[in-house]
Amino acid sequence: MGENITETKMNTVYALAFGSIMALGLPLNAVSLWIFLRCHSLRSPTAIFMVNLAISDLLLVISLPMRVYFYATGTWPLSRMACIWITMLFRNNIRSSSIFITFISVDRLLAVVYPLRSRHLRTSSSAWKAAALVWLIVSVVNIPESVDFKRFLNNLTESSCFEFSQPHRSPIAFFQPVLVFTLLAVNIVCTALVSWTIHRHLSESARIINKVNVMLIFVMNLMMFTVFFLPLSLFIFFKEWKSAISPLVCLASVNCCLDPLLYYFSFDGFWKKKEDVDISLARE
């Protein structure tokens, strides 16, 4: 009896948490995407990656109402296939967000450390091709995952969703932790190289505010990985974390509310009009 009351209270907390994330994430990312598409020509690779990051966050947000319903009522009204695809939307957000955040870090690295030699790489065409490749890879990985997930759900006697541990350690299950670990390493290297370059030339430039903004991007990117992406990705390696899956999913979902801070405070041209951004790009 006590366990049921505790479970009911925790489900209420999860419903409120996911509802709050949805209430914040939807307007923040929708407004961010509108500003990018309405006020920018999207010639900057960073802007293109941020647009795709906002799309990834919106895809996560639209999956949250069913999580709120499930935890609020304790029932799953839709099919198991719907459960699979909503779960895939969440996993795709972790993967695509981590990749696009890393692309932003690499783009800033090239702009700061190799500004002249990287001009032919840092083009809008290359950025859109990279973004398309990311979505393709993420979608392809969903195919074996969905098959694996469906097999697991078919073995359940009750109609449920979300409240389950990793079905089994199939090879595809290690894709996300390997991806997150690899991208975290890339972000750490990028942060170290850019920090070293900025400090080396600190006295040679008066644009100290821009330097602070550049480092802010890297600090926020590392925070995204260590606080939101890494804990959930480590779940597969620790069986004793089985009871922590829902809190970890809830924590990871918060990233969609914080990504807009990356746009507002770190992207130098976010609040500029399209014409101003075009002029600044022409001067780079």
Tell me the two tokens of residue 218: 């890297």
What pLDDT, in 10s, does the model give residues 167-219? 455 677 788 899 999 999 999 999 999 888 887 765 554 454 466 777 888 88
Q: What's residue 206's pLDDT?
A: 44
pLDDT band at 274 (very low <50, low <70, confident <90, very high): very low
Does the domain at residues 2-278 carry the CATH identifier 1.25.40.10? Answer: no
Q: How far apart, in whole angstroms, are the C-alpha atoms of residue 240 and residue 244?
A: 8
Work out the pLDDT band at 240, boundaries 50, 70, 90: low
CA distance 8 to 55: 33
Residue 164 has pLDDT above 60, yes or no: no
Tokens standing for 106? Answer: 């690499």
Q: For a pLDDT cut of 90, what percent of the chain falls above it? A: 35
pLDDT attached to residue 169? 59
Task: State how far the Cα of 54 lies from the Cα of 30, in Å rounded to an integer.
Answer: 8
Please give the model's pTM, rounded to 2 decimal places. 0.86
Residue 117 DSSP label? T
Secondary structure string (H, E, C) spanning 58-92: HHHHCCHHHHHHHHHHCCCCCCHHHHHHHHHHHHH
Helices (H) and strands (E) in the chain, counts: 11, 0
Q: Smallest Cα–Cα separation from 31: which of 278, 275, 263?
A: 263
Examine the pLDDT at 238 and tell me if it is beyond 50.
yes
CB 88 within 8 A of CB 146: yes
**Cα gap 234→18, rounded to integer Å:** 21
Token pair for residue 233? 């990705």
Residue 148: the pLDDT is 80
Measured CA to CA, the distance from residue 86 to residue 82 in angstroms comes to 6
